[in-house]
Structure 1
Amino acid sequence: MGEVDVLIITALKEEYEAARAAGSAGYAGHPGVAAWEEREPESLTPYLVGTYVLADGSRMTVALARPTRMGATATAPVVATLVERLGPRCLAMCGVCAGNPADVALGDVVVAELAYAYDEGKRTQDGFDGDHRQIPAPDGWVRAAQDLETTDLPSFGEASPEEARIWLMERLYAGEDPRRHPACSRYLSRASWAEQIQSLQADGLVTREGAALSLTDAGYALIEQVVYDDLEGPRNLPFAVVVGPMASGNVVVKDGLTWDRLKQWGVRSVAGLEMESAVIAQVAHRLGLSDWVVAKGVMDHADPRKDDRYKRFAARSSAEVLFKLLCRRLASPRMTGQAGATSRVRSVYVVGGVTGETTYPDYEKSQLAHVCEQLGQAVAKAGAELLVCSPFPDSADLHTVIGYVQSGVGRIVHLHSPRHPEVAEKQTEMLEMLGTGHGTEIKNWYYPGPEDDDSRGQAWLLCQIQALEEADVVISIGGRVSKTASTVLHLAEARRKPIVPFAFLGGASRRAYERRDWARVHPGLDHRRLMDRDAVADAMKIADELVTARLRPPHNYRWPPRRVFISRARPDAQFAKALESCLSGAGVTTLIGERELRPDRMVNPTIEDAVLSADLFVVLWSRSYALSRFCYDEIELALRRHEVGELQLWIVNLDGSDIVPPAARALPQAVARTPHTLVALVRELLEHAEPAPGVPRP
Structure 2
Amino acid sequence: MKSFIIGGSTESMSVTKFRSVCQEIGKNLALIGNSLVICSPFDDSADYWVLKGFIGQVISETQTIDILHIGSNDIINKVDDLKKNINIKNLNIIPCITSSLKGNEKYSWLLCQLQALETCHSVIAIGGKNDGAANMLLILAESKRKLVFPFPFFGGAAALSFDRIRYQLEDRMGNKHLKLLDENKVGESIELLIDQSLQSNKLEKQVDKNIFFISYPKARPQEADHIENILRRRNYLVYRDESEFGAGKNILNEIEKNIRSANIFIATWCKEYACSPWCFDELELALDLCESRGMKIWIFNVDGTRLVPKRARNLLTYPIRTREELDGTLLLLLGNQVTGID
Normalised TM-score (structure 2): 0.57
Equivalent residue number for residue 171 of structure 2: 521
Spell out, residue by residue over 1:547-572, the C-alpha distance to the aligned partner (whole angstroms, 9 max, x if none).
Answer: 22223335889xxxxxxxxxxxxxxx
Q: Which residue in the other structure is 1:244 paired with? A: none
Q: Deviations over 1:544-600 (max 9, x none)?
A: 23322223335889xxxxxxxxxxxxxxxxxxxxxxxxxxxxxxxxxxxxxxxxxxx
The answer to whether 1:692 aligns with 2:337 is yes
1:400 to 47, 50, 53: 50
Matched with 2:193 is 543
Give the match for residue 6 of structure 2.
351
Write out per-residue CA displacement over residues 119-139 of structure 1, whole angstroms, 9 at most, x where no aligned residue: xxxxxxxxxxxxxxxxxxxxx
- Distance across 2 between alignment mates of 1:692 and 1:398: 41
- Hey, what's the Cα distance between the residues in 1 that align with 2:21 and 2:38? 16
Between the aligned partners of 2:127 and 2:341, the Cα distance in structure 1 is 43
Pairwise mapping of residues 136-175 of structure 1 onto structure 2 (< 5 A)? none
Q: CA deviation at 1:452?
A: 3.4
1:185-241 Cα offsets, whole Å, 9 max, x none, are xxxxxxxxxxxxxxxxxxxxxxxxxxxxxxxxxxxxxxxxxxxxxxxxxxxxxxxxx
Q: Deviations over 1:224-282 (max 9, x none)?
A: xxxxxxxxxxxxxxxxxxxxxxxxxxxxxxxxxxxxxxxxxxxxxxxxxxxxxxxxxxx
Name the one with the larger helix percent.
Answer: 2
Percent of aligned pairs with the same amino acid: 24
Structure 1: which amino acid aligns with 2:185? A
Separation in 1, partners of 2:165, 2:186: 19
- Residue 413 (structure 1) aligned to one of 40, 65, 87: 65
Q: How far apart in 2 are the matches of 1:412 and 1:523?
A: 27
- In the other structure, the counterpart of 1:93 is none
Residue 533 (structure 1) aligns with? 183
- CA drift at 1:541: 1.9
1:132-157 CA distances to partner (integer Å, 9 max, x unpaired)?
xxxxxxxxxxxxxxxxxxxxxxxxxx
Correspondence for 2:100: 451
Equivalent residues in 2 for 1:18-33 (5 A)?
Answer: none
Match of 1:381 among 12, 21, 31: 31
Q: Which amino acid aligns with 1:550?
A: S
Counterpart code for 1:382: I
Matched residue pairs, number? 215
Secondary structure, in 3 states, of the residue corresponding to 2:154?
A: coil
C-alpha displacement at 1:523, in angstroms?
5.3
Aligned pairs for 1:556-567 within 5 A: none
Question: What is the alpha-carbon root mean square deviation over aligned residues?
Answer: 2.8
Alignment CA distance shift 1:689-1:544 (3 Å): farther
**5 Å matches for 1:60-459?**
346-356=1-11, 358=12, 361=13, 363-364=14-15, 366-409=16-59, 411-432=63-84, 434=85, 438-459=87-108
Q: Partner amino acid for 1:458?
A: Y
Q: Using the alignment, how far apart are the partners of 1:507 and 1:689 within structure 2?
A: 31
Which whole-Å CA distance do the structure 2 matches of 1:527 and 1:539 have between them?
A: 8
Please tell me whether the aligned partners of residues 351 and 396 of structure 1 are also in contact (alpha carbons under 8 angstroms): yes
Alignment check: 8 A CA contact 1:376 1:404 kept: yes
In structure 2, do the counterparts of structure 1 residues 404 and 517 end up closer, same or farther at CA, with 3 Å as the change threshold? closer
- Return the alpha-carbon distance in structure 1 between the equivalents of residues 29 and 188 of structure 2: 10
**Which amino acid is the alignment partner of residue 507 of structure 1?**
G
Contact 1:391 1:427 in 2 (8 A): yes
Distance 1:425 1:448, change over 3 A: same
Asked if the contact 2:72–2:100 (Cα under 8 Å) also holds between the matched residues in 1, the reply is no
The AA in structure 2 aligned to 1:508 is: A
Alignment deviations for residues 482-528 of structure 1 (CA, whole Å, 9 cap, x no partner): 22111110110110001000011110000000112437533524222
Q: Is the 8 A contact 1:420 1:449 kept in 2?
A: no
| Contact 1:474–1:499 (Cα < 8 Å) also in 2 | yes
Deviations 1:416-445 (A, max 9, x none): 11101121121122123x15xx34432111
Question: 1:489 aligns to what?
Answer: 138
Quote the Cα distance in structure 2 between the aligned partners of 1:417 and 1:537.
28
Task: Pick closer, same or farther for the CA change 1:423–1:503 going to 2, 3 Å.
Answer: same
Q: Is the 8 A contact 1:376 1:403 kept in 2?
A: yes
1:420 and 1:450 in contact (8 A); partners too: no
Distance apart, 1:696 and its partner CA: 6.3
Return closer, same or farther for 1:440/1:505 CA change in 2, 3 Å cut-off. Answer: farther
The question of 1:512 aligning with 2:161 is answered: yes
Q: Compute the TM-score of the two structures, normalised by the length of structure 1.
A: 0.29
Answer yes or no: is the 8 Å Cα contact 1:389–1:415 preserved in 2.
yes
User: Which AA in structure 2 matches 1:428?
Assistant: D
Amino acid at match of 1:413: I
Alpha-carbon separation, structure 2, partners of 1:517 and 1:537: 19
For each residue in 1:99-126, what CA deviation from the matched residue of structure 2 results, as whole angstroms up to 9, or x when unmatched?
A: xxxxxxxxxxxxxxxxxxxxxxxxxxxx
> Are 2:170 and 2:177, in contact at CA under 8 Å, matched by a contact in 1?
no
SS in 2 for 1:425: helix
Moved over 4 A (4+): 554-557
Judge conservation of contact 1:387–1:467 (CA < 8 Å) in 2.
yes
Q: Which amino acid aligns with 2:26?
A: G
Q: State the AA in 2 paired with 1:536.
A: V
CA contact (8 A) 2:28 2:191 kept: no
Letter in 1 for 2:79: Q
Find the residue that maps to 1:446 and give its secondary structure. Answer: strand
Give the Å deviation of 1:399: 1.1
1:530 corresponds to which letter in structure 2?
L
Name the amino acid aligned to 1:403: G
Change (3 A) 1:689 1:551: farther
Equivalent pair of 2:98/2:111 in contact (CA under 8 Å): no
- CA pair 418-531 structure 1, distance change in 2 beyond 3 A: same
Shift of 1:464: 0.6
Q: CA deviation at 1:455?
A: 1.2
Alignment deviations for residues 36-95 of structure 1 (CA, whole Å, 9 cap, x no partner): xxxxxxxxxxxxxxxxxxxxxxxxxxxxxxxxxxxxxxxxxxxxxxxxxxxxxxxxxxxx
- Match of 1:467, as an amino acid? A
Unaligned runs of 5+ in 1: 1-345, 558-644, 647-687
